[in-house]
Structure 1
Amino acid sequence: MSCQYYLLFLFLCGFAALSETCGKNELEGTSCIIKLTTSNKEKPPEIKWVHDTRGHVLRWKGGKIREISEGVSMEEDGSLRFSSVSLNDTGKYTFNTFTADGTEIRRGEVEIKVYEKAPKPAVKFSCTKDGNATLTCDIGKREDLTLSWYKDKDKIIQNEKKTQVSLSSTEVQENKPYSCEAHNPVSSNKSDSVTVSCFGKLFGFDFWVMVAILGGGGALLLLLICVLIICACRSCRQRVKRQQDEEEFRLADLTPGHNGTSRSKQTARGQPAPPVPQEDSMPCSPTPETPPRGQTQPKAQIRARPPPPPQDEDEDDPPPLPQPRIKQHRTKRNPEPYRPME
């Protein structure tokens, strides 16, 4: 028995929900019934339901439905039932009842307005240079909603169409949470609370964003300065080495008692010094223009010294330079006395 009572209770609840009368304001997607009011309890022979913009919605005559729109049906007493109302169902509905010969018995009019469910708004704020703030309640493009503003839990503005509220600098400094509520006659929704703070802004941007930008720029500038300093130091070092090499070459040439063979084997850079060619000394012999008397010996031929062998850069010490050949004086033969030819 308990199970039967439970099923009967569910049936009655479902029937009550289906038989809910449409009010002036309805939420989109709900089911409701527009009642047909008649003077007697009997069902009239002909019933017409007409929408002010869509025309005929339902026509019943002779015990049959002659015309019906999608999404509606007729109850046993002639009432108009909506399975799920939509925004297109908004408007005025007129019903007419007639006798069998077409005489009008009764006429009535019912108006309903269907609303969408209120969305959840979002609160955004922007700060000005003088420390004031502007709160904005974002509800999209909905125009059928009214707004109410809350400071902490106290309502400060209600039933307004404007989506923005201005706060003074003193109100901003209180660090109170603000929220907004969007509502229409059939639904409402409230946003999350937002604490307004304009002290974290720098040049109109978030404080930490500006810190990151300035930090990155400073690091890049410091890196550029370091690169320039390193390049300048290397250039100065190369210039000093070049000057040392030139000074070493100059001192080696000006030092008395030193010739090309006694020069440094390596330069300041660690590279072998190039050999200096030596000038050949002339033999201490009479010039060919003025030969000594009584001598017919031909003049000695002077041989040029061969060029030094090429230096190998890979060797640590260059080969020794060749020394000039020391000529020994030979014992001259006694020349025969000059005899004139007869």
Structure 2
Amino acid sequence: MFSPGKFVSSCIYKAVGDKVVIPFDGASLPAYNELKWTHNQTRVYYKKGSQIKNSELNIDQHGSLVLENVQKDKSGEYRGITYDADGSLIKETVQQLCVQEPVPEPTVLVECVEKGVNLTCSAVNDKSMVVSWMKNSMKANVTRAVLYVNSSELKSGDNFSCTVSNKISQTSAKEVEPVCSDTGLDLWSILVVLTGGGILMLFIICLVCVCRGCRQNKRKAEGEEQHQPVSFMPDYIYQPDDQQKLPSTFGYL
């Protein structure tokens, strides 16, 4: 026989696809009793005597609710109530079901930042997931998805890994060995330096080209002056008409 009263239990954690039995905690259910199960206040099973009026889900001989291939939408509160033939309450049980996906395998992403490195455990996308970090196979006291390591604490050969877990599964990432320069320059600073260096090199190349062009033009001009022909003709050539312009002292007027 059932003991009267209400039984409330903590959450039952199950993985997607599992078979779940939500217990009613009693002996075999008498055939004349009335039994009702609800999921989040929606009736999913009802039986009175030998008549089953609602059988969205199944029960076993003890009145426990059976769910096959459970999915996340089946999470929530399940309430089972049984009455005797006179309608008096015999037993009530309330059970929480929490269905979770198995956690995926995480990856540690490395980002070199100023004066250190950020390590991100990439698979953390659910509040139910718990993160832990390992440094050189020793557990670190950090539970955040992003771990910052100062460059002064980072030694050559140090390796890191993160572990992600929930109530039904746990998996770890492959170890990584972060390698960052000691200059403390971030990506944008490096890009600015490279861009400035490129502009300076372009200016120097243009300046060299201009100087070479000037020298070539000067040499060409000097070569043309050296090869000019020399004229031996007098600057003035006597013409016959010029007799009219001779002075009168010659007496030929």
TM-score class normalised by the smaller sequence: 0.7 to 0.9
- Structure 2 match to 1:304: none
- Structure 2 match to 1:134: 118
Q: 1:281 aligns with which of 234, 239, 252?
A: 239
Sequence identity of aligned pairs in percent?
20
Higher RCO, Cα 8 Å, sep 6+: 2
- Structure 2 match to 1:87: 72
Q: 1:176 deviation in Å? A: 0.8
Letter in 1 for 2:123: I
Q: 1:223 deviation in Å? A: 4.2
- Structure 2 match to 1:234: 216
- Structure 2 match to 1:113: 98
Q: 1:25 deviation in Å? A: 1.3
**CA offset digits 1:95-143 (Å, max 9, x no partner):** 11123443333222222222221122222344454x4333332334311
- Structure 1 match to 2:8: none
TM-score by length of 2: 0.73
Gaps of 5+ in 1: 1-22, 261-275, 294-342
- Structure 1 match to 2:16: 28
Instruction: Determine helix, strand or coil for the equivalent of 1:259.
Output: coil
Aligned-pair Cα RMSD in Å: 3.9
Q: 1:228 deviation in Å? A: 2.4
Instruction: Determine helix, strand or coil for the equivalent of 1:236.
Output: helix
Summarize the Cα distance change of 1:206–1:285 in structure 2 as closer, same or farther, 3 Å threshold: closer
Bigger radius of gyration, 1 or 2? 1
- How many pairs align? 239
Summarize the Cα distance change of 1:214–1:117 in structure 2 as closer, same or farther, 3 Å threshold: farther
Instruction: Determine helix, strand or coil for the equivalent of 1:233.
Output: helix
Q: Which has the higher strand share?
A: 2
Q: 1:43 deviation in Å? A: 3.8
Q: 1:194 aligns with which of 152, 160, 176?
A: 176
Alignment of 1:151-230 (within 5 A): 151-157=135-141, 160=143, 162-199=144-181, 203-205=185-187, 220-221=202-203, 223-230=205-212
Instruction: Determine helix, strand or coil for the equivalent of 1:33.
Output: strand
Gaps of 5+ in 2: 1-10
The alignment status of 1:63 with 2:37, answered yes or no, reads no
- Structure 2 match to 1:97: 82
Q: 1:144 deviation in Å? A: 0.7
